Chains A and B, each alone.
Chain A
Amino acid sequence: MFMSVLTLTAALAVACSSNNCPLDNTVTCNYYFYDSNDNPISLYDTLTVSVLLPGHDTLYTYRIVGYPTITSKTRIDSLVSQGYKEVVSIIRHDSILINQVVNASHLELPMAYFNKADTLVFDYFNLRNNDTIYIDHDNMPQVNLPECGSYMFHRITGVKNTNAAIDKLEITNPNVNYERKENIRIHFAGTIE
Chain B
Amino acid sequence: MNAKRTSGFTSLALLSSLILLLSVELHAQEPGERPKPTLYVVDSLNVEQKQTFFQGFTLSGDLFGLIQKYTSDYGVFEGALRVNFKNKYFPIVEAGYAICETTNEDTHISYETKAPYLRAGLDINMLKNKWQNNRLYLGARYGISKFNYDISGPEQTDKIWGVSQPFHFKDISTTAHWIEFIAGVQVKIWGNFHMGWSVRFKTAISKGSTDYGTPYYIPGYGTTTSGTCWGATYNLSFDLNWGRKKNKTMLNAVVHPVSPQSPPKQHRVEDEQTKEETE
B59: interface (CB < 8 Å)? no
Which residues from A are CB-within-8-Å of B165?
A: 113-114
A15→B151 CA distance, assembly (Å): 24
Q: Are A143 and B161 in contact (CB under 8 A)?
A: no
0/1 interface trace, chain A 67-91, chain B, CB 8 Å (1 if under): 0000000000000000000000000
Q: Are A114 and B197 in contact (CB under 8 A)?
A: no
Q: Are B230 and A15 in contact (CB under 8 A)?
A: yes
Tell me which residues from 148 to 174 in chain A have a Cβ below 8 Å from any Cβ of chain B. Answer: 148-150, 152
Q: Which of A4-12, A99-107, A126-134, A182-190 contacts B (4 or more CB under 8 A)?
A: A4-12
Tell me which residues from 123 to 164 in chain B have a Cβ below 8 Å from any Cβ of chain A. Answer: 151, 153-154, 156-158, 160-163
Q: Are B72 and A13 in contact (CB under 8 A)?
A: yes
Binding site secondary structure of chain B: strand
Total A-B residue contacts, Cβ distance less than 8 Å: 99
| A9 and B68 contact, Cβ closer than 8 Å, known pairs A142-B213, A146-B102, A152-B156 | yes
Instruction: Choose one: B64, B111, B153; the contact of A9 (CB below 8 Å).
Output: B64
B12: interface (CB < 8 Å)? no
Tell me which residues from 209 to 235 in chain B have a Cβ below 8 Å from any Cβ of chain A. Answer: 211-214, 216, 222-226, 229-232, 234
Which residues from B are CB-within-8-Å of A37?
A: none
Q: Are A115 and B212 in contact (CB under 8 A)?
A: no
Instruction: Choose one: A5, A12, A147; the contact of B107 (CB below 8 Å).
Output: A147
Q: Are A145 and B216 in contact (CB under 8 A)?
A: yes
Q: Are B153 and A150 in contact (CB under 8 A)?
A: yes
Q: Are A146 and B158 in contact (CB under 8 A)?
A: no
A22→B205 CA distance, assembly (Å): 22
| A143 and B225 contact, Cβ closer than 8 Å, known pairs A5-B234, A112-B161 | no
A149→B269 CA distance, assembly (Å): 75
A65→B104 CA distance, assembly (Å): 67
Q: Are A114 and B212 in contact (CB under 8 A)?
A: no
Instruction: Choose one: B103, B211, B223; the contact of A16 (CB below 8 Å).
Output: B223
A63 to B: closest C-beta gap in Å: 33
A170 to B: closest C-beta gap in Å: 24
A140→B226 CA distance, assembly (Å): 22
Q: Are B163 and A114 in contact (CB under 8 A)?
A: yes
A20→B160 CA distance, assembly (Å): 28
0/1 interface trace, chain B 98-134, chain A, CB 8 Å (1 if under): 0000111011011100000000000000000000000
B40: interface (CB < 8 Å)? no
B199: interface (CB < 8 Å)? yes
Chain B contacts to A: CB under 8 angstroms = 64, 67-68, 72, 102-104, 106-107, 109-111, 151, 153-154, 156-158, 160-163, 165, 167, 169, 195, 197, 199, 211-214, 216, 222-226, 229-232, 234
Chain A contacts to B: CB under 8 angstroms = 1, 5, 8-9, 12-13, 15-20, 51, 53-54, 95, 97, 110, 112-115, 140-150, 152
Ordered by A's residue number, 14 sampled pairs between the chains whose C-beta atoms are within 8 Å are: A5-B64, A12-B232, A15-B229, A95-B160, A110-B160, A114-B158, A141-B167, A144-B224, A146-B103, A146-B216, A147-B109, A150-B109, A150-B156, A150-B167
